[in-house]
Structure 1
Amino acid sequence: MSITDLIAKYNIPIPRYTSYPTVPYWDTDKPDSKRWFEVIKDTFDQTNKSKGIAIYIHLPYCERLCTYCACTKVITKNHDLEAPYIDALLKEWQLYLDTFKDRPIIRELHLGGGTPTFFSPSSLERLLSTIIESGEKHPEYEFSFEAHPNNTTEAHLLTLYNLGFRRLSLGVQDFDPSVQKVINRIQSYETVETVVKQARSIGYESVNFDLIYGLPKQQLSSVEDTLRKVRVLNPDRIAFYSYAHVPWKERGQRGFTDDDIPRGEEKRALYEVGKRLLMEIGYEDIGMDHFSKTTDKLHIAKENGTLHRNFMGYTTSEADMIVGLGASAISDAGKAYMQNEKSIEAYKKCMEAGTPAFIKGHFLTHEDRTIKRTILDVACKMKLTFNDDLVNYMTFQMLSQLKEMEAEGIIERNERGFVLTPELGKMFLRNVCSVFDIRMHDRAERNDKFSKSI
C-alpha cells in the first residue's frame, strides 16, 4: 500500500493518549469526592517518598485570542483578576495538603494555560513560593512553564528561575506574518530571540518551541522559513503539532474557511518538510510530534527506556501522581482521574466555599489499568511485549488490526509482541495506540471528539 493510501486510511480522529481512558470516555459526570481523596491519600502514601508528586497549575487568562487554540481560557486585559484566582488556587492546594500525611515531595511542577506569563512576576512568586514552601523539592525536580513571547519579561524569567524553574516552552507556532495575522498571534522573530537570549543568559537549561503545521494560510515556504529561524535560535526541544480544526468547539476557528486550511497530502507535506529540516539541523524524533536535541533529558530518557507520558505530555519524571490545580485542570492518582470545573467563576465559587470543584471523574478498572500500561509502552518505548493481563483483553479486532499494520510495514511482529518501524511506525503512532483503545471502539460517536491523526 502506498503512503498516500495509508494516510487516507489512517488520517482519522483519534486521541493523543495523554491518558487512558481519554476524557470523553470517563465513567461519571458526578464525581465521588470522598472516594477520590481516599485514592489520592493511598497513592501519596505509597509513592511520595520514593517518587514524589507532580503538580500542574492551569492559569487561564490571555490578553488576546489565538484562534488556533482549543485550551480553556478567558480573554481579558483586567489584571485585577490575578489575585482572586491565585487565592482560589491556594485554597485548592490546601485541600490536598489536608489530605496528605506528610509534606509533599515535589518532583515536577508545570504552569500551563492560557498564558501563565499573563500573571505578574509578583503574583507568580506569591502563588509558587507558597506551594513550594509547603513541601520539599525532589533531588531530581523539574519545574517548567509555558510562555507567550510578547509578554514574557526578564522579570518573569528571573522570578521563576529563582523559584527553581529551569525549562520554558515558548509558543512560536509560525514566523510567517500572513499566518500570524490569520491566527491572531502576531509576534516578531526579534521578540522570540530576545526571550531566548535572556533565558539562556539567566541560566535556563532547556528551551522548547511549540510549532504547528496545518495552520490557515500556511504553505511550504512558511514552514521552511520558520525552521530556518528555529535553527538560528537553537531550542533544545520542539513540539511540532498538527493543527486541530474543531470549529464546533472553538468559535475563534470559525473566522476562516475550509479552503484556508491545508488538508490531506498538502498538510502531510508540511509535516514531512518540517520533520526533514528538523532532522537535518540535529533534532531526533521522540514520537507523538516531539523532537529534541540528543543532549536534552527527553532524548536521554527515550534512549534509556525511562520516558513517560501523562496529561502534561512526554516527561522524564517518574511521579505516579499529578495534582491538577485550577479551572479545567486534571489530576491523576494512578487508579483514578479527576477534572475541575472549566468555568472559572464556578471554580472560584467552589473554592470560596471550601469544597472541591470537580466536574468529571473516572476510577480505573483492572482492564483500564492494563490498557493504560499497554498504550504508554507503545507511546514511550515504541514497542510492546505481550503479557498475560493484556492477552486476557485482546480482541479479534485488535489482532486483525495488528496483522494489517504488520503487512503495511507499520509494525514488525515478533514472538513476544511487536516494535514500531522507524518511519511508518512513528508516523502512525497514535493509530497503533488506538488499536488497544477498547472504550473508544465501543462508542460509535467518537469521530467528533478528537483531531485527526495527521
Structure 2
Amino acid sequence: MTQAQPVAVSEDLLSRMDVTGPRYTSYPTADRFVDAFTASQYKQALAQRGEGVGVMTNVAGGGAAPLSVYVHIPFCESVCYYCACNKVITKHHERANEYLDALEAEIALHVGVLGVGQVVSQLHLGGGSPTFLSDAELTRLMESFRRAFRLAPGGEYSIEVDPRTVTPERLAHLANLGFNRLSFGVQDTDTDVQKAVHRVQSWESVVGLVQAARDLHFESINVDLIYGLPKQTRQTFERTIEQISVLQPDRIALYAYAHLPQRFKPQRRIHAADLPAGAEKISMLSHAISGFLGAGYQYIGMDHFAKPGDALAVAKRQGRLHRNFQGYSTQPDCDLIGLGVSAIGRMGATYSQNAKTLPEYYDAVRAGTFPVIKGIALSRDDLVRRAIIMALMCQGRLVYESIEVAHLIDIKSYFARELEQLVPLAESGLIAIEPDGITVTPLGWYFVRAVAMVFDKNLQADQALQRFSRII
C-alpha cells in the first residue's frame, strides 16, 4: 500500500460524521458477549489450540502461530475523573502482592492446558496503572511470565506508563525487563485542564521522561491525548498539539472524551458546564489532524498517528496492519490471552472476558478455575463479517474474491443490502466501490468506523448505538 498524501478534513464533514459506533477491536463487539459462555468453554478453546485444532499456523516455522498476551493491572493511586477503565483506587501498595499471586495462579491454569513454552510475540501491560507496581513487583511478574512462556525475538513488549509514577531510573528497569515500547498517558498539557480532571503533571517531567526513553533506545514511544475534556478550548488544545509535535513521540493516540456519568462514577465529578460544546470539540479535532499531519505524522486510522519510520506506519504502507483489543498492531492476527481482572481474550473462534471485580476474580483462580464470566462463540456469519470489518479497518481494502474463497459465499448476494448502504459513503468520497471490491479513500480513513459499521448486523437497533463512543 502506498502512502497517500495528507488530505484536508473539513469541520463540516467531521460534524456530519459525528455519530456513535464501536471501535472494532473485535467483532462481534464486547457488548455482545453472553453469560452462557463459561470457563469450561474457554478451557475447551485453549485445549483445541494446544492440540492444533482449528488454529492458525506459523507457515515459516510450522506449529501454532505466536500468542498475544494482555495483562490488566487495575490499581491507581488516585482517580482521573475522565476515566472509564476498570480500576481500583488505592494507596495501599501491599495489595499488589495478592494480585500477583492471583496472576501467577491464572498463568498456571493456562500452562496446565497449553504446556510450558508457548511462543509470545506481543505482550501488553495495561490498566489502571501498571507502573503502580514497584520495580521488584514488575520483576516478579516478568519472571513468572518467562517461566511460563517464551518471548519471541523482535516481538512487541509494551507497557502503559503514568508519568507521575516513573523516573528515568524506573524506565531503565523496564528496559532491562524486556519492554521495548512505552505509552505515556499525557492527555493534555494545560494546567487548568489537568486540575479539572484530577491529573496534574508538569510538562517538564514529560519531556524529561520521553528523552530518557529515547536514550534507553525504546523502539517506540507513544503519547495518549484526549480532546473534549473540561476547561479545554481550541486555543489551549492547539498549544498541547504544538508541544507534542515538538516533542516528536513515535506515535500519538488522540481520543475523544465521552461524557457518560451515568455509567462511570468518576465522571460525575466533572461539571458538564465546563465541557466544550460540540462545535468546539469538532474544531479541536480538525486542528489536531492538521497539526499532526503538518508535523510529519501519518494518519494510521482510528485516532492513531505515527512517524513515517515507525513500525505501525510501515505496516500500514505494506498492508500488514492488524487490530486486536490493544488497538492497531504490526503483529499477525493471532490468539490473545487476557490475564487479570476484566481482561478480554480471543482464542480460536471465541472471545471471553474475565470477572470484573477483584473478589470474583480471586475466588475463581483460588478455586483452580479460569475466571471467565462471559464470552461468545462466533457463528459462520460472525466470522465472515469479522473478516470484512478487519479488512476495511486494517488494510482499507475489501477484495471480494478473498472473502468468497475463504467463506464460500457470493458476496454481492450475501451482502446486497449492505452494499446498497455503502453508496452514500461513496458519494461522500469516503470509499470507492469497484467491480472486485471496496477501497477506503484517504479521506475515508478518518471515518473508517462508519464504513465498517455497515457490515455490523448488531447495529440495526438504534438503541445499540448508545453503548458506544462517537466515531470521531
Shorter-chain TM-score range: over 0.9
Q: Which runs of 4 or more aligned residues in structure 1 lie more than 6 Å from their structure 2 counterparts after TM superposition?
A: none
Work out whether 1:84 is the aligned partner of 2:85: no
Residue 418 of structure 1 aligns with an amino acid whose one-letter code is I
1:177-231: per-residue Cα shift (whole Å, max 9, x none)? 1111111111110111121122222221210000111111211122211122112
Give the drift of 1:276.
0.8
The residue correspondences of 1:153-164 to structure 2 (distance < 5 A) are 153-164=167-178
User: For residue 436 of structure 1, what is the aligned residue in structure 2?
Assistant: 455
Aligned residue among 99, 113, 119 for 1:99: 113
Residue 451 of structure 1 aligns with an amino acid whose one-letter code is S
Work out whether 1:58 is the aligned partner of 2:65: no
Alpha-carbon separation, structure 1, partners of 2:131 and 2:412: 48
- 1:115/1:147 contact within 8 Å kept: yes
Aligned residue among 23, 39, 48 for 1:42: 48
- 2:35/2:374 contact within 8 Å kept: yes
Residue 49 of structure 2 aligns with an amino acid whose one-letter code is T
Q: Counterpart of 1:79 in 2: which secondary structure?
A: coil
Q: Counterpart of 1:324 in 2: which secondary structure?
A: strand
Give the drift of 1:265.
2.6
Residue 69 of structure 2 aligns with an amino acid whose one-letter code is I
Give the drift of 1:89.
0.5
User: For residue 29 of structure 2, what is the aligned residue in structure 1?
Assistant: 22
The residue correspondences of 1:21-420 to structure 2 (distance < 5 A) are 21-26=28-33, 28-44=34-50, 45=52, 46=55, 47=57, 49-101=63-115, 103-386=117-400, 387-388=403-404, 389=407, 391=411, 394-420=414-440
- 1:174/1:222 contact within 8 Å kept: no
Q: Counterpart of 2:323 in 1: which secondary structure?
A: strand
- 1:54/1:319 contact within 8 Å kept: no
Instruction: Decide whether aligned partners of structure 1 residues 204 and 5 sit closer, same or farther in structure 2, where only a CA change above 3 A counts.
Output: closer
User: For residue 19 of structure 2, what is the aligned residue in structure 1?
Assistant: 12
Q: Higher mean Cα deviation, 244-253 or 291-300?
A: 244-253
Residue 427 of structure 1 aligns with an amino acid whose one-letter code is Y
Q: Higher mean Cα deviation, 78-87 or 215-224?
A: 215-224
- 1:147/1:168 contact within 8 Å kept: yes
Give the drift of 1:352.
1.6
Give the drift of 1:30.
3.0
Root mean square deviation of aligned Cα: 1.8
Give the drift of 1:132.
1.6
Instruction: Decide whether aligned partners of structure 1 residues 38 and 59 sit closer, same or farther in structure 2, where only a CA change above 3 A counts.
Output: same
The count of residues paired between Structure 1 and Structure 2 equals 450
Q: Counterpart of 1:112 in 2: which secondary structure?
A: strand
1:24-65: per-residue Cα shift (whole Å, max 9, x none)? 122x21323222222123235344745311110000000111
- 1:379/1:429 contact within 8 Å kept: yes
Alpha-carbon separation, structure 1, partners of 2:66 and 2:72: 20
Instruction: Decide whether aligned partners of structure 1 residues 155 and 81 sit closer, same or farther in structure 2, where only a CA change above 3 A counts.
Output: farther
Alpha-carbon separation, structure 1, partners of 2:143 and 2:446: 42
- 2:43/2:113 contact within 8 Å kept: yes
Aligned residue among 465, 468, 471 for 1:447: 465
Give the drift of 1:417.
1.5
Give the drift of 1:427.
2.3
Q: Counterpart of 1:51 in 2: which secondary structure?
A: coil
Alpha-carbon separation, structure 2, partners of 1:393 and 1:414: 16
Alpha-carbon separation, structure 1, partners of 2:299 and 2:40: 42
Q: Counterpart of 1:109 in 2: which secondary structure?
A: strand
Give the drift of 1:392.
7.1
Residue 36 of structure 2 aligns with an amino acid whose one-letter code is K
- 2:116/2:148 contact within 8 Å kept: no
Q: Counterpart of 1:98 in 2: which secondary structure?
A: helix
TM-score, with length taken from structure 1: 0.95
Q: Counterpart of 2:200 in 1: which secondary structure?
A: coil
TM-score, with length taken from structure 2: 0.91
User: For residue 427 of structure 1, what is the aligned residue in structure 2?
Assistant: 446
Q: Counterpart of 1:143 in 2: which secondary structure?
A: strand
Alpha-carbon separation, structure 1, partners of 2:446 and 2:220: 26
Residue 396 of structure 2 aligns with an amino acid whose one-letter code is M
Residue 311 of structure 1 aligns with an amino acid whose one-letter code is F
Q: Counterpart of 2:174 in 1: which secondary structure?
A: helix
1:298-356: per-residue Cα shift (whole Å, max 9, x none)? 00111111110000100111151110000000011130011001101211121122112
Give the drift of 1:155.
3.8
Alpha-carbon separation, structure 2, partners of 1:420 and 1:164: 37
Instruction: Decide whether aligned partners of structure 1 residues 393 and 79 sit closer, same or farther in structure 2, where only a CA change above 3 A counts.
Output: farther
| Percent of aligned pairs sharing the same letter | 39
Residue 12 of structure 1 aligns with an amino acid whose one-letter code is V
Q: Higher mean Cα deviation, 11-20 or 127-136?
A: 127-136
- 2:225/2:253 contact within 8 Å kept: yes
